Structure formats: C-alpha cells, structure tokens
Amino acid sequence: MKGIILKNERLNDKYRLMEIESPEFVQTAKPGQFVMVKTGLQDYLADPLLRRPFGLVDVRGNTFRLLYMLVGKGTRLMTESPAGSVIEFSSSLGNGFKSVKNQKVALVAGGVGIAPLLWIAKLLKDDGCSVTLYFGGRNQEDIILADEFRPHIDKLVITTDDGSVGDKALVTVPFGQDVKGFDRVYACGPKRMLEAVSGICVKGGVPVDVSLDERMACGMGACLGCIIYVREGEETVQKRCCVEGPVFDGSKVVWESVCR
C-alpha cells in the first residue's frame, strides 16, 4: 500500500510522530495491530533492505499515525520523508487488543511502548471503562503523547528512572501497589517491563494482555524469525509474533525465552 505523509513531526531528539493519509488502509486497521513500513522508500536496492514493524497509534478519518524512535538507519531515513511525500507500507497486520466494557482497566507503558495504547484507551473509555495509565521512561524525553491520553483516561501515573518527570521509580512500582484495583491490564514496552507487569498481574489475579515486539523480516508469518513461546495447558508451543500476536496473554508467555 501507499500513502501520503501529512505530518512527520519531531517530538524530541528521540521520537517522531508520522501521520499518513491512506483511505484504503484505515478501513481494516484495528487497535494493537502493526504495519510494516518500507524504510528505504524509493529504491529496493537501498540499504536498509527490510521493512520495519511499527504499532499503530490510532486512526483518524482517512489517516493513521505511527510513533517511531530513532534507533538505526531505517528510522533515520523516515525522518527524511517530508510532508507530501509518498510512503509504502503493508496492510494492517497481526491481532490487536480486544476492548472490554464497564471495567476498571490499567494501561502500562514503557517509552515507545506507549504507541499502541492510545487507540485502545479511547475505545475503553467510550465503552464505559475507567482507565488509568502508568507510563514509565528513562527520563522526560521518553514521556511522550501523555497529553493526548488525558481526555481518554481517568488517572495518569508517570515515573522516570532519573525523576526528571513524575516519581523516580520503575513504572512497575506504583502499578504493583495498585494492581488489585483493576479488572484487566494492557501493557506495551520493554520485555523486562512486560515480564514484571505480567508477574504482578498473575500474582494479583488480574488478566493481562501484552504487546510484544520481535525482530521480523516479513510480518506475514512466513519467515519464522519472530517466534515466541507460550504455554497452552501443559505444553509450551511456538507462536509467530506477527500473525498470532503481537498481543498475547502475558500470563501464558514463557518470559525466559522472550527476554534473552
């Protein structure tokens, strides 16, 4: 698919927010899904070669948004795509978050893991849920999009490693103290954080859905580069993060295989 970049906004030195117009894409996209973006943009022989997966922030009218962190050549190239230019990407991929109604929900995000939680926050709020967002980062630079959440959440708890904004703590600390007050948890962020959040939820008896991020070549279930392991009854089974995920039941994930 192709779309027109409407905005490619610099949030700070580390993060950018891209808004892409694509009436075709938005028809099928769901919260928690992801998209593979061709970062070489014009030339298939350009380096980098492969597409990159990005979680969908949200869909608004004919546009969708992607949050991206500058980590390598691919994302650097994305910064060089001005408004008005064409970008190539896949259709919406994977299974997303499933919304619930009239429940007390916690969202737990770490850094760029905030990306797929905005859309589900909106849906949850519309469906009568009370929503608390726990948002952690290394420093103030990681605390992005928080203002966009405010209309869709009841409470915001921010933590940073250096205390530059919010409490100086890991996000799992305040969340762990409050966990028993929730009916359901959705989380996205670093794997160690997701492991900790899942452990807290299991201990507290609260269902938890985590959105995982694995290196993948195709995003379509063919390359088998993004295998994760989950427990099904007595068995440990393989799942493709791209097709069966990226959202999994955090209590079933075999974390020692994911946090390598």
3-state percent breakdown (helix, strand, coil) of the chain, nearest 5 = 25, 35, 40
Single out the residue of 7, 217, 251, 255 in contact with other proteins (rule: CB under 8 A). 217
Q: Which is nearer to other proteins, 6 or 217 (CB)?
A: 217
Q: Which listed range, 87-95, 151-159, 163-171, 190-198, lies at the site for other proteins (CB under 8 A)?
A: 87-95
Closest contact distance (angstroms) between CB of 252 and other proteins is 17
Residues with Cβ within 8 Å of residue 79, at least 6 apart in sequence:
8, 10, 16, 70
Q: Which is nearer to other proteins, 214 or 249 (CB)?
A: 214
Question: Rounded to the nearest 5°, which phi and psi values hold at 55?
Answer: -70, 145
Footprint (CB under 8 A) of other proteins, residues 32-71: 38, 44-45, 47-51
State the DSSP string of 182-194: -SEEEEES-HHHH
CA distances for 46 relative to 40, 77, 80, angstroms: 6, 11, 14
Footprint (CB under 8 A) of other proteins, residues 121-150: none
Q: Which is nearer to other proteins, 4 or 243 (CB)?
A: 243
Q: Which is nearer to other proteins, 94 or 174 (CB)?
A: 94
Judged by CB under 8 A, does residue 216 bind other proteins?
Answer: yes
Single out the residue of 71, 86, 224, 254 in contact with other proteins (rule: CB under 8 A). 224
Single out the residue of 228, 230, 247, 253 in contact with other proteins (rule: CB under 8 A). 228
Q: Which is nearer to other proteins, 44 or 151 (CB)?
A: 44
Paired sense of beta strands 167-168 and 155-160, if any: parallel
Q: Which is nearer to other proteins, 203 or 215 (CB)?
A: 215
Footprint (CB under 8 A) of other proteins, residues 10-39: 38
Angstrom distance (rounded) from CA 220 to CA 228: 15
Angstrom distance (rounded) from CA 254 to CA 178: 25
With H, G, I as helix, E, B as strand and everything else as coil, classify residue 137: strand
> Would you say the C-alpha torsion 224, 226, 229, 233 has a positive or negative sign?
negative
In the block, which residue shows the tokens 């939680």?
117
Judged by CB under 8 A, does residue 190 bind other proteins?
Answer: no
By the criterion CB under 8 A, which residues form the site for other proteins?
38, 44-45, 47-51, 88, 90-91, 214-218, 220-225, 227-228, 238, 243, 257, 260
